[in-house]
């Protein structure tokens, strides 16, 4: 499989949190050859099931990679000299310092290309000069008269960023929505690997909706699918100039396996053992409270679900130039596939027994 081409297709498809229909369709096409069923649930998450080869009733593992991206929403339509402009607000954790002069698509009654503009600093009040713009300063300009804008756009319409995926040197890539289309790509690679191997458990691959705003898809898919165990796949912080924290990781150095309150100790150990078995480089990431990922939503569904968390290092998170290494994405797919092929009928018993062992 061509990792870059898959990631390019995924990142360049719009899918702001709460408006994931378009990206769900693209992912469904990618996953269809490797699974036995594909459905979209009531909140918009895409759920694909690949049957295992074990004796029925089989145990079930859920893989969750959120498919939504940060974006904007129209909150006001204003006119100036007969032309229409849009005031917007954020959908998810948009870094407002990054969005001035970005290209966008307004998802109204038809898709409208536009740009995010503002007055130059010299024309702003002195107290606003040489400071980051805020949403009161910015407008989306689609180049149409106000009358046409009002016919085509409504308050509440979504706005997505428009940015191609760029190939940097080596295996580095940069673009928008690698958070979390990088992880969707990794799950795609995992399903491709599993098509060539034998696995006992059923696999439920979920491209979850609205992670950036409320973890909605994780809560609802874990509740409805009732898996025996789950793994969330998301991005984590990549090292770069000025970022030397112990909880940031080198691009190209391999995925992370998280340890913390949202992770079952047995799932951490099993993922680490799978990585060691194929001599795949991984790093341990930690969270002391809430991981900020779908792992939280998966973990607390119903009676509680043993959950693991795998991360792909990413620089410049929540910007239009998010940067990752294709090697990390490919290794994440391999890690997931190896973990899955090692699951047997006694795995859940070992998890429970491990919780009772004296440390």
Q: Which residues touch 121 (CB under 8 Å, ≥6 apart)? A: 128, 129, 130
Q: Choose the catalytic residue: 20, 69, 211, 212.
A: 211
Q: Which residues touch 241 (CB under 8 Å, ≥6 apart)? A: none
* Residue 211 is among the residues annotated as catalytic for this protein: yes
Burial (0-12, 13-18, 19+ Cβ within 10 Å), 54: middle
CA distance 184 to 164: 17
Q: How would you classify the pairing of strands 229-237 and 60-66?
A: parallel
Burial (0-12, 13-18, 19+ Cβ within 10 Å), 127: exposed
Peptide bond before 57: cis, by omega within 30 degrees of 0? yes
Q: How would you classify the pairing of strands 83-91 and 139-145?
A: antiparallel
Asked if 209 contacts 67 with a C-beta cutoff of 8 angstroms, the reply is yes
Asked if 232 contacts 295 with a C-beta cutoff of 8 angstroms, the reply is yes
Paired with 308 in beta bridges are 231
Q: Which residues touch 234 (CB under 8 Å, ≥6 apart)? A: 65, 66, 179, 180, 183, 211, 293, 294, 295, 309, 310, 311, 312
Catalytic residue IDs = 211
């Amino acid at each position: 499989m061509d990792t870059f081409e898959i990631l390019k297709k995924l990142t360049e498809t719009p899918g702001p949190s709460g408006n994931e229909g378009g990206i769900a369709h693209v992912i469904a096409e990618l996953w269809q050859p490797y699974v036995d069923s594909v459905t979209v649930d009531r909140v918009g998450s895409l759920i694909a099931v690949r049957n295992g080869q074990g004796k029925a009733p089989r145990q079930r593992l859920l893989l969750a990679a959120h498919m939504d991206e940060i974006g904007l929403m129209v909150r006001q339509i204003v006119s100036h000299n007969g032309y229409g402009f849009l005031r917007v607000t954020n959908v998810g954790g948009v870094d407002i310092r990054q969005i001035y002069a970005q290209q966008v698509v307004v998802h109204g009654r038809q898709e409208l290309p536009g740009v995010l503009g503002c007055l130059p600093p010299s024309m702003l009040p002195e107290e606003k000069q040489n400071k980051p713009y805020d949403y009161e300063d910015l407008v989306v300009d689609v180049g149409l008269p106000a009358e046409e804008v009002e016919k085509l756009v409504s308050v509440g319409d979504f706005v997505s960023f428009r940015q191609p995926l760029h190939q940097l040197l080596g295996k580095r890539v940069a673009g928008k929505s690698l958070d979390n289309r990088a992880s969707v790509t990794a799950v795609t690679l995992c399903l491709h690997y599993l098509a060539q191997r034998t696995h006992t458990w059923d696999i439920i691959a979920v491209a979850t909706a609205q992670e950036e705003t409320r973890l909605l898809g994780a809560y609802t898919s874990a509740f409805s699918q009732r898996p025996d165990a789950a793994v969330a796949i998301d991005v984590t912080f990549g090292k770069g100039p000025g970022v030397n924290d112990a909880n940031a990781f080198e691009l190209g150095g391999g995925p992370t396996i998280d340890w913390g309150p949202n992770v079952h100790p047995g799932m951490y150990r099993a993922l680490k053992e799978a990585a060691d078995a194929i001599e795949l480089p991984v790093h341990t990431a930690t969270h002391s409270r809430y991981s900020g990922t779908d792992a939280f939503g998966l973990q607390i569904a119903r009676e509680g679900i043993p959950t693991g968390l795998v991360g792909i290092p990413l620089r410049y998170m929540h910007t239009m130039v998010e940067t990752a290494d294709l090697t990390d994405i490919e290794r994440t797919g391999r890690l997931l596939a190896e973990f899955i092929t090692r699951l047997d009928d006694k795995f859940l018993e070992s998890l429970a027994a491990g919780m009772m062992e004296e440390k």
